[in-house]
Chain A
Amino acid sequence: MSFSRAVAFLWVATLRNRVRRQVQRLRQPKYLVGAMVGGMYVYSIFLRRLSFPGPQEGPPPMTQGVSQFLLILAMLGTILSAWALGPDRPALRFTETEVQQLFPAPVSRRGLLHYKLTRGLLGALVGAFFATLFMSRVVSPNPVLFFLGTTVTLATVNLHVMGASFVRTRLAQRGGVGVAVRWALIVAALALFAAAALSVLREHGFSPELLANPRNLQALMVLLLDTPALWPGKALVALPLARDAGAFLRALPLGLGLLAIHYVWVMKTAVPFEEAALVRAEERARLRERMSRQGGRPTPIRVRASFFRLASTGRPEVALVWKNLIAGRRLGSAGRLLAAGLVGGLIATVASGRGEDVMTHLRLIMAPLCGGLAFILCLFGPSAVRMDLRMDLPRLEQLRSLPLTGRQVVAAELAAPALLLGVTQVGLIVVAMVLSMGLGESRGPAWWVAGGLCALWVLPSVTLVGLFVQNAAVVLFPAWLPPEGERVRGLEALGQRLLTLVGTLVVLLVGLLPASLLAALVGFGLEHFLGLGVWTLPFAGLAAATVLVAEVALGVVGLGRVFDRLDVSSEGPETSGY
């Protein structure tokens, strides 16, 4: 079997097996439903956009002009960076498997180069497909022509990047002279662009109003596009931006000619690339290994002190809370973001205040900022702070081996993020209360204190419910949730994620309903019978919080039972050999 036939076989078999595996998964209802929802989402968001009202209509000339200008800049930028940035070595990336399988195989360097060029062409096809999905509506009246033209353009740019890396390697081998030649070429190209831009500005005249008027800007762009400096860029994007079949056919010889010239250039300038490819494959392997050692994190973990000393006796599930709090301290970045927000608020306060107004400014800015942050933590905290079952999902097997009941595991896993978020929210609310009391508004301090006390109960409880819903999804549908740091692909995975998101929102709202009803009843009763006025708020809030905590407590009992019965071999992300 020739190399080309072997490669074709490899790609066809890979594609066939992937499709077959995904189709087989669709036998399971959870994947079928996910695929249907994912398919509908993709259709409604992307594919439906491709249908245009008619061939006559297209994007307005202004939009097309801007798109053309931006596309040209993007292409020229890519080409220029291929010459200016990165190391002087062949830009051929082989995976470790490719290095292991293909390099020792009886395949010529030319064969390997053709293999990578073909892969590049396939990559251009995929890139063009996504560009068509996202951009064609605003750029071109004909998505099919845009797709074909973008494929040729991306393939040409890909070849240029490869050819540039070969030439750079050759120039670098000549030492300082080679480097000087390369930079002279880059500086000449930049000077050409700068001269073109200056000549246009000189011709059009520059004034501050120029930038304010879109028509003037459009005129500037048209003039700039007509300068010879941008002709190579225009030639590159002529195919994707063709307005009709006639224009496309007229631009086709130039587009294909550029592609052919680049192919010949790459084949003529090719340098030995095996060593560089091997180095790159090893670099990637090392990076992957380091990330895997650090739980998918590219930066090293810094050891910081734990929140409290863990005694060896007492309730065993506290060990899980301790462990997760340490994880939050060493891995979490949400705390740093929050601190940055508060420091930013403080700086803004100091910068905007003058003399004795500083305290007033501090109250005016920081009180709503703290209150707002406490509220925002209710909405986004449960999704952002994940040192619970979501973090431990890849270790379900390990959790199952611990001498703990399911209820203990679920409660302990929930406790760490709930504690961190709850304490933060309480702190923020107290600060907001203290600062707001001196604001001298018409509502008076009683309103702020009562409102603050209500928020003290309610906000951490709502956060707890949010965390519970997120963790419940892990226990009830572990196969639907990808573990931390793992990418799950496919239409069905997209659909599953959408369903999980909608499901958690619905459950959260349903869970809040009884608490809201009871809070309303308590508030109405206290106001009606005792006339407590604004002081009904803390009691209504306490009633709502009690209901929410009770709901979570019941949920933990139920979820614990499910956890005890959970068969990690069939449901969890870990499926093993026998």
Chain B
Amino acid sequence: MQTAQPEVRVTAPVLEVEGLEKVYGDVKAVRGLSFQVAPGEVLGLVGPNGAGKTSTLRCLGGILPPSSGRVAVAGHDMVGAPVEAKRALAFLPDEPRLFEYLTVWEHLNFVARLYGVEGWEERARALLDEMELAGKEKSLPGELSRGMKQKLSIACGFLHSPRLILLDEPLTGLDPLGIRRMKASLRQRAEAGTVLVLSSHLLPLVEELCHRILVIAGGRAVALGTLSDIRAQLSGPEGEGASLEELFIRITSAEARLEREAP
């Protein structure tokens, strides 16, 4: 199945990653990742469980210090100027982490002050409408469903109009209508120039939304490019016309075989 993929204007990259490595004790979770993402581009991060996707996202978000390598967001080095870099990004984890004692509106107020968002009320109302949370302003997270919490977390991430949005399984807990709205919302932000780095196991979603795809296995980048590029990488007739799911299985199976055979 071939999906028409949106074109991207090539300008100065918003996200630059060079030789990123993350080591936990004896385990190398991320091994020498290097890539750049231009404004308006959506990069999909896919890989099997334990491939290093979440560690990569956490390093990009400044949550984990990289063991080596460099991450720069909007030209700000994550180690040298972490505050400026973090101000330009939003990290949306798969499990929404909310403060159980702050209401929905207070969460947005909190974020507005952290990022210095002037006129935040208007923007917050629009976001609550977009996320179908209007009327829930005075609710505590304990009174919200799993999907609503996820939407609140996303609204908090969008409030300061970040230049880079890191999403770890963004559609977890959303109903079909919520998923459709969220996809439209992400697409709209990408069209406005925001960079999205999206990690998901939902390959059709990645195929539909992402301009480029980074396949990670064993912490290494095993494929990077558009779906057509990745198809082309798989030389021979088996690469032609394959869906992302088929390509993913072929690439990761080959990688796993290589790892098993390695001394």
Give me the interface of A with B, judged by CB distance under 8 Å.
290, 293-295, 300-301, 303, 306, 310-314, 316, 318-319, 322-323, 326-327, 330-331, 395, 397-398, 400-405, 564-565, 567-570, 576-578
Determine whether the beta carbon of A323 is less than 8 Å from that of B115. no
Cβ of B54 < 8 Å from any Cβ of A? yes
Chain B interface extent, by class: 35 or more
| Sampled A-B contacts (16; CB under 8 Å) | A293-B100, A295-B100, A312-B112, A312-B113, A312-B116, A312-B118, A312-B119, A314-B113, A319-B113, A323-B99, A403-B86, A565-B65, A568-B63, A569-B58, A578-B24, A578-B53
Give me the interface of B with A, judged by CB distance under 8 Å.
24-25, 27, 29-30, 49-55, 58, 61-65, 82-84, 86-87, 91, 93, 97, 99-103, 106, 109-120, 138, 140-142, 219
Determine whether the beta carbon of A576 is less than 8 Å from that of B54. yes
Determine whether the beta carbon of B109 is less than 8 Å from that of A310. yes
- Point out the residue from B55, B58, B110 that lies within 8 Å of A310, measured CB to CB: B110
- Point out the residue from A319, A570, A578 that lies within 8 Å of B54, measured CB to CB: A578
Known: A294-B100, A301-B142, A316-B115. 7 other contacts (CB 8 A): A303-B103, A330-B101, A403-B83, A567-B65, A569-B55, A576-B54, A578-B55
Compute how far the CA of A400 lies from the CA of B97 in the bound complex, rounded to whole angstroms: 13
Task: Across the interface, name the chain A residue whose C-beta is closest to B113.
Answer: A319
Q: How far is the CB of B67 from chain A (nearest CB, A)?
A: 9
Q: How far is the CB of A448 from chain B (nearest CB, A)?
A: 40
Determine whether the beta carbon of B55 is less than 8 Å from that of A403. no
CB-CB under 8 A for A326 and B106, given A301-B100, A331-B101 = yes
Task: Across the interface, name the chain A residue whose C-beta is closest to B47.
Answer: A578
Compute how far the CA of A331 lies from the CA of B99 in the bound complex, rounded to whole angstroms: 12
- Point out the residue from B24, B50, B102, B119 that lies within 8 Å of A326, measured CB to CB: B102
Task: Across the interface, name the chain A residue whose C-beta is closest to B107.
Answer: A323
- Point out the residue from B91, B112, B120 that lies within 8 Å of A401, measured CB to CB: B91
Compute how far the CA of A250 lies from the CA of B142 in the bound complex, rounded to whole angstroms: 59
Q: Which residues of B contact A301 (CB under 8 A)?
A: 100-101, 140, 142
Determine whether the beta carbon of B64 is less than 8 Å from that of A568. yes
Q: Which residues of B contact A303 (CB under 8 A)?
A: 103, 138, 140
Determine whether the beta carbon of A312 is less than 8 Å from that of B120. yes
Q: Which residues of A contact B53 (CB under 8 A)?
A: 578
List the count of A-B residue pairs having beta carbons below 8 Å apart: 111
Determine whether the beta carbon of A402 is less than 8 Å from that of B51. no
Task: Across the interface, name the chain A residue whose C-beta is closest to B88.
Answer: A403
Determine whether the beta carbon of B62 is less than 8 Å from that of A316. no
Compute how far the CA of A295 lies from the CA of B142 in the bound complex, rounded to whole angstroms: 9
Compute how far the CA of A7 lies from the CA of B37 in the bound complex, rounded to whole angstroms: 54
Determine whether the beta carbon of B86 is less than 8 Å from that of A401. yes
Compute how far the CA of A11 lies from the CA of B27 in the bound complex, rounded to whole angstroms: 31
Determine whether the beta carbon of A295 is less than 8 Å from that of B101. yes
Q: How far is the CB of A560 from chain B (nearest CB, A)?
A: 12
CB-CB under 8 A for A395 and B114, given A403-B83, A567-B64, A569-B64 = no
Determine whether the beta carbon of B114 is less than 8 Å from that of A402. yes
Task: Across the interface, name the chain B residue whose C-beta is closest to A319.
Answer: B113
Determine whether the beta carbon of A398 is less than 8 Å from that of B24. no
Task: Across the interface, name the chain B residue whose C-beta is closest to A323.
Answer: B110
Determine whether the beta carbon of A402 is less than 8 Å from that of B24. no
Compute how far the CA of A327 lies from the CA of B101 in the bound complex, rounded to whole angstroms: 6
Determine whether the beta carbon of A306 is less than 8 Å from that of B106. yes
Determine whether the beta carbon of A313 is less than 8 Å from that of B116. yes
Q: Which residues of B contact A569 (CB under 8 A)?
A: 24, 55, 58, 64
Q: Which 8 A-B pairs have the closest CB atoms?
A: A319-B113, A293-B142, A295-B100, A403-B86, A403-B87, A578-B29, A312-B112, A330-B101
Determine whether the beta carbon of B100 is less than 8 Å from that of A319. no
Task: Across the interface, name the chain A residue whose C-beta is closest to B83.
Answer: A403
- Point out the residue from B61, B83, B97, B142 that lies within 8 Å of A300, measured CB to CB: B142
